[in-house]
Amino acid sequence: MVKVLHIDAGQCTGCHQCEMACSYHHEGAFNPSKSRIKVFKFKETGRNVPYVCTQCADAWCLQACPVDAISVNAATGAKEVSADLCVGCKVCTIACPFGTINYNSISTKVDKCDLCGGDPDCVKVCPTPALTFIEAESAGMDKMRHWAQKTDAGNQALSD
């Protein structure tokens, strides 16, 4: 069963441990600027929001790559960049509507989340349920339940 990285921004404390774990896993350094997951702080609301590749089904990055350097890992479903094939043209960074693929000026290649081979380090270190790695099917069900509850609450307010 394919799993997905599920983000509950309401649970994020802004500790940045996910960024540290990611940068250490991929770059061997505790450096948030080298992380493939970013935590954005919205000062006006006091909220922190983890932001990472959503591993899109239609993956525009994969389709846009002129050298086929991005492929789907059959075991994890992650869209992974092959450093051997990537020429650093940045076309995928332009194609990604979410801005979750980044150019690495040191390697002259692009970096994106690869789900750590199916066992994401960001999830392991998250002290809250802000980051979880769950079955893709249940992630969809959670979204449907959430919207159903919102719709039900809205309909109830209208009928009162």
**Per-residue pLDDT tens listing for the chain (160 residues):** 789 999 999 999 999 999 999 999 999 999 999 999 999 999 999 999 999 999 999 999 999 999 999 999 999 999 999 999 999 999 999 999 999 999 999 999 999 999 999 999 999 999 999 999 998 776 655 666 666 777 665 555 545 5
- pLDDT given at position 2: 83
Q: How far is CA 96 from the centre of its chain?
A: 12
Distance of alpha carbon 131 from alpha carbon 11, whole angstroms: 8
> Under 8 Å CB-to-CB from 80, ≥6 apart: which residues?
70, 71, 72, 73, 112, 114
Alpha helices in 72-128 (DSSP H): 91-95, 121-125
pLDDT at 136: 79
How crowded is residue 100: how many other Cβ atoms within 10 Å of its Cβ? Answer: 20
Instruction: Please tell me the CATH code under which domain 7-132 is placed.
Output: 3.30.70.20
> Residue 21, SS3?
helix
Q: In 10 A of CB 92, how many CB atoms? A: 24
- CA-based angle 112:116:119, to the nearest 5? 145
What pTM, to 2 d.p., does this model score? 0.83
Q: Which residues contact 61 (CB under 8 A, 6 or more apart)?
A: 70, 79, 92, 93, 95, 96, 101, 112
